[in-house]
Chain A
């Protein structure tokens, strides 16, 4: 019977490792390669920990399987009378301790770049792309008018969208994250970005989309019955396309259906701004 139990526990461990092994082939793994530079580093750290823990898991279960097989009852033997070993205790304290200390120190750099404000890209911090305000159950986005800088207080010429965040690709951008009611969490799975939106706080979040494309924006903190449908979209596009998008947004928003004056004015301003920037 002992052999069966040994095989039972070894089989489960093998099945677990096997599932992790085949999962990527079925697409049951990270949702594509990270679409941001920091995301790539997070994935690397994830894989590093995965390798370390996989070795530990396989090792532990190999020993467990061996012990259950070798020392199963019915072999007419008596247990070894030992109360432990000081040397072994020292070894299996110090070795894991050094590995764990290495893991934790090795992680600090990425965390610092993700969250510590003084390390943020200063240009992006000076001109946040948008303010994202979470509320039950939508993302409200406020852009500054083309060529202007986002102010803390809403301005008359600000542009508004819902659930549709556009950012330029290829450079770090900052959004200001707020919440109007309860806790929410701004989660961009493809970019490996997550930050809770806390009512009463304005939290700057930076990320950089490597490529143009559309990405899911997910709410990852329980915010009520409609939590599951609080779905937004992040569109990363080339700088010029982004400016064009803002311009079009401005035209639509200020179109009174009679004159096209404000839109033209905005266009002038916009081209002015584009020239200034270049």
Chain B
């Protein structure tokens, strides 16, 4: 894109980074159809944050129904459901949790990690001037929009949005008479998922190519920051797993539209309609779906692990403990991630011998996760720990991920899973992994890289207020869900109190709903802080955190082409508190007399 001539704009433009190229590209090319990885990353960030609020609103409606079943929703109830007296109908309830999961997984968590942080950080941290395929990168963002449009549209078509859960198990999702959401909502859902998949795939190809080919001189694989390793492993996971979901999605679409029978057994009578014809197998979908969606769980947490590893080292002022074990455990999680999908299907009716195999592989995947937790604690041990908004969010990640990891063992153990499968225990578990772990890492990452994105700091005090309220709200909402699960409360029931043995759980659910509201409204603080800081935050220089990695040698914000001069890397990313220098940090690009120079041909 830019004809990078280091000498030409190195010293001249570092105080005003937009100086070059600014007059060449207009508003549309710069802010909308930008091919600059930083702008695309920021577009992903703002889009996903907005969608997080939308997905959160859906979740609050679910929580409302669980705390005050069949009660009129205050204020918005009559706007949305005037025909039902402001009450959530059971069919709308099924759409709420289906679309909450869909939005949060496919439009928030995956794009905020890979799309926002992956895009922004990969070229900056490996010392490249942009992604390998900038146009592909732009398309990967814009392919999210049709998906958002289709998901949004599905609420307004006949029957409403998809209502078969985000897992879309057939035959519920395939037979049109089975649920209102299976009329046209499900078709739109499948098309939306395909667009999101194409978007992810374009990102994935781009990330792999960029990381393999475009590292700066001296940036060997084992000098890459953990964030890059995590993005790299995630991109590989995406590339191998996603085609299966895409194919399965098309098969389901074809079952719905062309009346094929991949997933439809014959002789089913739904809603007194004619019996179905065919010889499909409902379980086939579950295998195909989870073959993608289990690796997808790691796609949703590995980049967060990378981010946390980087941020913790910076604020412990100490090298990351066990860099190589951290890399290998990432790879181990990704590898094992391909052979554990069956643990979603222990009681689905698949061969019980498979249950045993998948139990062993699933419990063993907790091992690399445990190794990571110990290494993070080792990183903090002996450090000079600074308690900033990014660091406390990342410390919270360790704590929340521990809970999520440990609760996973309960469900990996097949006999115990017989009882807690599909109860609120699993809901607690994956929220601890996806919200507790990943989103706190994302909050940390936003506060940490905000100065690099916009050249201004976020407000530290409000950052901490946001963290404390989110943390309290989160734990008061989700920790009691373990207890609901142990008490045998199944998920996805519009009115669990229909069963007498669950009636006494109502007060606990009401407490959780209050906490969820606290957590939800707290996110407005984050949004306000971001917009306030965009304009009034304290201006900072290149390296406000005294960090080592390459992005901090670029101007804040970096101009088109990122670096003034092509960075040359002399060492790993975590040389904090090095005895070689007086400062407690030693950037990767800083040349010391004893350095042997980069292995410049190493690509």
Contact = CB atoms under 8 A, between A and B. Distances in A.
A31 to B, nearest CB: 5
A89 B367 contact: no
Interface residues of A, number: 101
B382 A82 contact: yes
B518 interface: no
Nearest to B412: A104
B493 to A, nearest CB: 4
A78 interface: yes
Nearest to B413: A107
B367 A84 contact: no
Given A111-B355, A195-B347, A45 B413 contact: yes
Interface stretch (B138-146, B162-170, B252-260): B162-170
A9 interface: yes
Contacts of A30: 486-488
B406 A57 contact: yes
Contacts of B399: 9, 12-13, 61, 64
Contacts, number: 324
A222 B164 contact: yes
Nearest to A2: B387
Nearest to A184: B172
Given A63-B377, A84-B321, A196-B347, A225 B180 contact: yes
B94 A227 contact: yes
B90 A228 contact: yes
Interface string B477-494: 001101110111010111
Contacts of A235: none
Interface string A180-217: 11110101011011111011110100000000000010
A136 B370 contact: no
Interface stretch (A95-103, A243-251, A254-262, A268-276): A95-103
Contacts of A148: none
Given A49-B409, A103-B363, A194-B347, A71 B381 contact: yes
A89 B325 CA distance: 8
Contact of A41 (B317, B319, B415): B415
Contact of A200 (B282, B322, B392): B282
Given A19-B483, A84-B321, A190-B501, A71 B349 contact: no
A183 B395 contact: no
A108 B505 CA distance: 32
B544 interface: no
B532 interface: no
B239 to A, nearest CB: 28
Interface in B409-428: 409-410, 412-416, 418-423
Given A61-B399, A224-B172, A111 B415 contact: yes
Interface stretch (B121-129, B191-199, B265-273, B533-541): B265-273
A48 to B, nearest CB: 9
Interface string A30-72: 1100000001011001100110110011001101100110011
- Give the top 10 A-B pairs by smallest Cβ distance, nearest first: A200-B265, A79-B318, A80-B382, A189-B488, A84-B322, A115-B352, A225-B91, A79-B577, A110-B415, A228-B493
